[in-house]
Amino acid sequence: MQNFIYHMPVKVYFEEGGVKKYLPSEMKKYGKNIMIVYGGGSVKRNGILDELKSTLEQCGKTVVEFGGVAASPVYAKIKEGIALYKKENIDLMIALGGGSVVDSTKIIAAGAEIDEDIWEEEMVRHHIPEKMGKYAVVLTISGAGAEMDHLGACTNEETHEKKTFVGPYADFVIEDPSYLMSIPLRTFTPGVYDSLSHCMETYFGKGTNVWDEINESLMKNIIRNGKALMENPDSMEIRSNLMWDSSLIQSFSFYTGNPGDFQAHGIENMLAAYTHKTHGLQLAILQPVYYDHIVEDGPEVFARFAVNVMEVDPSGKTQIEVAKEGIAKLREFIKCLGLPSTFSEAGIEVSEEIASVVADTCNVSVNNVRQLSRKEIREIILACR
C-alpha cells in the first residue's frame, strides 16, 4: 500500500425532508445573499426549486438564481456564474442538482474570490487560489459522487479542452432520496453506471490493498440495486441505496494507497469536449472495449473481478477465460440498464479526425496493467463507433 494522508471534511444529511429539517440551522452560519445554481427545468417542474427558495426566504435570505447549467458544463457558463457571484456579493452558493451542477458550482467557487481568470490560473499557471467561495449541495440526482470531492470538470468550447479544476469541498450536503423519484430511468441509469465506473477505475489500478475487498462489496451493491431498479423503478429504497453508493465512492477512501486506472475517464473527458454527452453514458461505451484491449495484460485482477463481483463460476475455465467472461457480464449489466454499447447506437458521431485529436491530447494512465500508446487509444475510440 502506498503512503497517503486521508481527510474527508464533507458533512452529509441523508433524510427525506432534509431541506426543511436541516437547512434553517445551517443558514445561521452564513450571510444574507444565497445563490442557487441549477440545470434545466426539472427542478422547477417537480417543485424542488420552489421548496428550496421558500425555505431560504423563511430564513431571511435573499435568493439569487443561476440556472441553465448544461449536462456537460462549459466554461463560458462558469464565467457567467463567477460574474453573477461577484455582482450580487454572494455569501453561499447552493448547488441544486447532480454532478454537472455540483462541478460547475465548485469551479465558480474556485474563481469567485480572485480577480484573475480561473482557467488561466489553474490550467495555465497551475496555481490554486488560496481563497475560494463557499457552497453547499442539495442533491437531486446521484451517480457522479461530485458532492463528496473538491474536483470539478468543464469544457472550454473555444479550445476543445475538458479540464478538471481544484475547488473547495462543500460545507454540507443534503441528500433527500425522495428527490430521485421523479427522475426517469433514461436519465438515472447513466449515473448508476458512472458510480460503478468509479469503482472499477480504482479496482483495476496497480497493486492491491484492503480497499479492494470493500470496493468489491460496493460494486456488487451497485449491480444488484441497478438490476432491481429496472424491475422496480418506483422503489425509493433502491434509489436511496444507489444514491449513497455514489457518495461513498467519492469519499476518496478507495483511492488511498491505490492510484487507480483512470484511462477510460481520461479518454471520455477529452471526447466530451466534442460530443457534450453524458459522462456515464460515454463511459459505458468506452470501458468494456478498453478492458477487452488490456485484459490479457492483467488477467489476475480481471479474473478476480469476474468471480468476486460478476459472480462468474471459474470451474473448468482458464484464468483468461474467467476474466473475459467477467467483461461479458459487465456488458450484460450495461444492456440491462438500457445503455448503448456503441457511439452510433447513442446517436454520437465520432469521426476519425476527432478520434485522433482525443487520442493525441487525453491523459495517458501509468497506473493501469499496461500503459497504452496514443495509437492504441485511437483504435479503442474507433472500435466504439
Per-residue model confidence (pLDDT) at position 355: 97
Q: What is the pLDDT of residue 259?
A: 78
Give the pLDDT mean for 97-116. 97
Whichever domain contains 221, its CATH number is 1.20.1090.10
Q: Are strands 12-14 and 173-175 parallel, antiparallel or unpaired?
A: parallel
**Quick one: which of 182, 165, 365, 196 has its CA closest to 279?**
196
- Mean pLDDT throughout 119-130? 97
Is the pLDDT confidence value at 5 over 80?
Answer: no
Strands (E), the chain: 12-14, 33-38, 62-66, 92-97, 135-139, 151-156, 161-166, 173-175
Judgement on whether residues 369 and 238 belong to the same structural domain of the protein? yes
**pLDDT band at 1; cut points 50, 70, 90:** low
Q: Domain end: 179, 195, 213, which one?
A: 179
Q: 346 falls in which pLDDT band (50, 70, 90)? A: very high
**Residue 3 included in any domain:** no
Burial track 297-333 (b if 16+ CB lie within 10 A, e otherwise): ebbebbbbbbbbbbebeeeeeeeeebbbbbbebbbeb
Q: pLDDT averaged over the chain?
A: 94
The SS3 assignment for 228 reads: helix
The answer to whether position 4 is within a domain reads no
User: Are 174 and 190 found together in one domain?
Assistant: no
119 and 175 in a common domain: yes
What's residue 383's pLDDT? 98
- Do you know the residue count of the chain? 385
Q: Which of 179, 204, 228 is the last residue of a domain?
A: 179
pLDDT one-digit tens code per residue, 255-293: 777 778 999 999 999 999 999 899 999 999 999 999 999
> What is the average pLDDT across 42-50?
93
Lowest mean pLDDT, pick from 57-71, 80-94, 240-254: 240-254
Whether 125 has a pLDDT exceeding 70, the answer reads yes
Q: What is the pLDDT of residues 249-265, one digit of tens each?
A: 887 677 777 778 999 99
Q: Is residue 2 part of a domain?
A: no
pLDDT value, residue 364: 95
Question: Are 48 and 115 members of one domain?
Answer: yes
Instruction: Examine residue 7 and state whether it is found in any structural domain, yes or no.
Output: no
- Percent share of the chain, pLDDT over 90: 88
Residue 151, SS3 per DSSP: strand
In this prediction, residue 223 carries a pLDDT of: 98
Tens-digit pLDDT profile for residues 49-73: 999 999 999 999 999 999 999 988 9
Residue 324: inside a domain, yes or no?
Answer: yes
pLDDT reading at 20 higher than 80: yes
Q: Domain check: are 236 and 208 in the same one?
A: yes
Q: In the chain, what percentage of residues exceed pLDDT 70?
A: 98
Instruction: Give the residue with greater pLDDT, 221 vs 143.
Output: 221
pTM of the model: 0.93
User: Could you tell me the CATH number of the domain that includes residue 125?
Assistant: 3.40.50.1970
Are both 250 and 277 inside the same structural domain? Answer: yes
Residue that finishes a domain, picked among 161, 179, 197: 179
Residue 208 has pLDDT above 80, yes or no: no
Q: Is 298 helix (H, G, I), strand (E, B) or coil?
A: coil
Q: List the domain range (segments joined by +) for residue 120.
A: 12-179
Residue 332 has a pLDDT of 98
Count of structural domains, the chain: 2
Whether residue 5 lies inside any domain: the answer is no
pLDDT at 207: 73
- Compute the average pLDDT of residues 207-233: 93
pLDDT at residue 129 greater than cutoff 90: yes
Q: Are residues 106 and 190 in the same domain?
A: no
What's the whole-number mean pLDDT along residues 183-190? 95
Task: Answer whether residue 163 is part of any domain.
Answer: yes
**Contact between 203 and 215 (Cβ < 8 Å):** yes
Same domain? For 243 and 175 the reply is no
Per residue in 276-335, pLDDT tens?
899 999 999 999 999 999 999 999 999 999 999 999 999 999 999 999 999 999 999 999
Domain membership of residue 25 (yes or no) is yes
Residues 201 and 164 reside in one and the same domain: no
Same domain? For 297 and 233 the reply is yes
| Pair 371, 365: CB distance under 8 Å | yes
Strand partners, 161: 156
Same domain, 222 and 150: no
Q: Does the structure show a pLDDT above 80 at 167?
A: yes
Flag whether pLDDT at 138 surpasses 80: yes
Instruction: Specify the pLDDT at position 143.
Output: 87
| Same domain? 136 vs 214 | no
